[in-house]
Amino acid sequence: MSVRRRRTPSRGRPQSEAATAALMRATLAVVATRGYHAATLEEIVALAGSSKPTVYRRWPSKPRLVADAVRFALATANPSVPASGRPLGDVRAVVGNVIHALRTTPLARVLAALVGAAADEPALAEALVEVERERRRVLRAVVARAGTRDPDLDVDLVLGALYFRVLMRRMPVDARLAARLTRRLYGRS
């Protein structure tokens, strides 16, 4: 799974996809357990089996590293836009994949930690807005095919319901929620 970065690649040894994935998973794990502000680069590189120079070559700042870890988690859940020929099935699949990631990975705890941190750290907030804008394209593409008048509003409604349940109400989300949200929006499933 490739994680896009805004910086141009540095010279020298090519970047290892395995090392990048290990750093992304370690960043998610450390932020999930320690919170954004308490997470340290030392913990992340130790858990990933990496080094600080490797991180500094790839990410200019902690906000960019953490935002790329969130991007990685979301891209792992939905690496591409599905096109099964069943628009509502595709909506359910994308939403179901996000729910699965929220339930089975540190993503829900990371997002909870980042909501408060982003309020105090503009660079983090900006980086997360960029990730959200990029990753919502997957859901928007399938929602638009499902025959809606306002795909952006439908995406907000779906993601809003998901994230509100996870972040504010601390409710578990299950696979059935994807079908329930689809039925609610489109009156059919």
CB-based contact 186:147 (threshold 8 Å)? yes
pLDDT of residue 149: 87
Count CA atoms closer than 13 A to 42's CA, side-chain side.
1
The angle formed by the CA atoms of residues 140, 146 and 150, to the nearest 5 degrees, is: 55
pLDDT in tens, 65-91: 999 999 999 999 999 999 999 999 999
* Cβ burial 128-161 (10 Å sphere, 16+ → b, else e): beebeeebbebbbbbbbbbebeebeebbeebbeb
| pTM recorded for the entire structure | 0.86
pLDDT in tens, 178-189: 888 888 888 755
Structural domains of the chain, ranges and CATH numbers in brackets: 17-61 (1.10.10.60), 69-186 (1.10.357.10)
38: DSSP letter: T
Quick one: pLDDT band at residue 3, thresholds 50, 70, 90? Answer: low
Instruction: Round the CA-based radius of gyration of the chain to a whole number and report it.
Output: 17
C-alpha pair distances (Å), 113 with each of 10, 46, 55, 66, 139: 31, 21, 21, 11, 24
pLDDT of residue 5: 46
pLDDT at 49 over 90: yes
Tokens 């359910």 correspond to what residue?
A: 92
